[in-house]
Amino acid sequence: MSSHGSLPRIAVIGCGAAAREFCLPVLRRFSDYRQRVVLVDISAEQAQSTARAFQIEHWCIDYRSLPLEVDAAMITTPHHWHAEQARHFLSQGLPVFVEKPLGMTEREASSMTELASAKGAVLMVNNYRRLFPAYQRVRQILSTGELGSCRRVDIWDGTRFAWASASGFYLRDARARGVLLDRGAHTVDILCWWLGGCPAVVSSRTDAMGGVEAVAKLELAHQQTVIHLAFSRLERLRNYYELQCERGTIRGRLFDFSRLQIERNGKRERIQAGPMRSYADWAWKLVTNFVQVVRGDERPIFEARDVAPSIGLLEQAYRQAGSFAMPWYDADPNVAALTRGDSAVSGADPGDRE
């Protein structure tokens, strides 16, 4: 991308980690970005400090009263604000880019995509894993039927949560939901994209105990395919996918964006599907695509309506979610004793007893 071109006027709503790590590093490659970006954050302190860090002139605290007329909006606020804020800009016919997940519910997602269609506005979402060459190759193999139909899918997706959350919203507020919406927004979307349709939820379990879940396991079904997904933001899982098809098996590491392996007729074939690139490079590529779409130089690589069905599946998984058996809590005699008040809280001082 040229660093000399003119940047469209863009409002960046939300000045947390997503804006700082994915949006602003791309926007600042344009020479005039300082005057053409408006930062918006409910916290004036956060907006101001981000403006200072990126040397951006305009900032405010309310996306409904911007100090500058804009050509597009990028929304990087906590999930539950996405729909309302996106609709505000879409209703003006402006292109909008939303951080994943697109919305909290299927209804929210469809309200955004329908409004975008009605207004003829582009709505994109940051599901950038669709750009990984290895994932694109998996989709190609499945859609061409090269290995026959898919019988079973297993995906493990988990790392320790390291998101540099500025507000703590993702952990403090049950509306944020947990790992299922966070990591599931990527993985479930990729799964639906690979299979060419949205599976049904067979079972769903999480470890939420009145707060936000950190571990979730789903069993899904799609036509002849049985699917098992495991998510965690407490521990690193094997971070691997395996798709067993009639005439072979596809395997790959979740974060190896370029390579995969196919096993057929007892032989293993390694495939280099694209160049090795870093994780952020892919998100930047999608943000760059959005900027070029706003400039009229490119078409969207994919749009939010392509991703929307996966939000419905995640909503269904939350509705059906049960709890795991966790004997390390439920069968622990110390936890039981404290819970029933059989402790020094209610008992006498041991010294008194003697």
Interface residue list for another protein (CB under 8 A): 156, 158, 160-165, 167-168, 170-172, 174, 178, 207-215, 230, 232-238, 259, 276-279, 324, 326-329, 331-335, 337-339, 341, 343-345, 347, 349-351, 353
Q: How many CB atoms lie within 10 A of CB 57?
A: 14
Q: How far is the CB of 167 from another protein (least distance, A)?
A: 8
| C-beta of 42 vs 66, nearer to another protein | 42
| C-beta of 56 vs 212, nearer to another protein | 212
CA atoms of 155 and 305, how far apart (whole Å): 24
- The owner of tokens 């299979």 is 195
Q: How far is the CB of 266 from another protein (least distance, A)?
A: 24
What ranges make up the beta strands (E) of 99-164?
123-125, 150-158
Q: How far is the CB of 2 from another protein (least distance, A)?
A: 24
| C-beta of 168 vs 266, nearer to another protein | 168
| Token couple for 162 | 């390291």
| C-beta of 13 vs 229, nearer to another protein | 229
CB 117 within 8 A of CB 303: no
Helix-strand-coil split of the chain, %, nearest 5: 40, 20, 40
| C-beta of 298 vs 330, nearer to another protein | 330
Burial 239-270 (b: 16+ CB within 10 A, else e): bebbbbbeebbbbbebeebbbbbbeeeeeeee
Q: How far is the CB of 119 from another protein (least distance, A)?
A: 36
Q: How far is the CB of 155 from another protein (least distance, A)?
A: 12
Q: How far is the CB of 210 from another protein (least distance, A)?
A: 4
- The owner of tokens 């998984």 is 317
| C-beta of 24 vs 73, nearer to another protein | 24
CA atoms of 315 and 111, how far apart (whole Å): 15
| C-beta of 3 vs 328, nearer to another protein | 328
Q: How far is the CB of 184 from another protein (least distance, A)?
A: 15
| C-beta of 159 vs 249, nearer to another protein | 159
Alpha carbon of 306 to those of 126, 145, 189, 301: distances in Å?
A: 12, 21, 9, 11
Q: Is 12 helix (H, G, I), strand (E, B) or coil?
A: strand
| C-beta of 123 vs 214, nearer to another protein | 214
Q: How far is the CB of 344 from another protein (least distance, A)?
A: 4
Q: How far is the CB of 241 from another protein (least distance, A)?
A: 14
Q: How far is the CB of 10 from another protein (least distance, A)?
A: 27
- The owner of tokens 């998100």 is 283
What ranges make up the beta strands (E) of the chain?
10-13, 37-40, 58-60, 72-75, 96-98, 123-125, 150-158, 200-206, 215-222, 225-232, 240-245, 248-253, 259-264, 267-272, 322-323
CA atoms of 293 and 285, how far apart (whole Å): 12
Q: Is 107 helix (H, G, I), strand (E, B) or coil?
A: helix
Number of H helices, E strands in the chain: 15, 15
| C-beta of 95 vs 184, nearer to another protein | 184
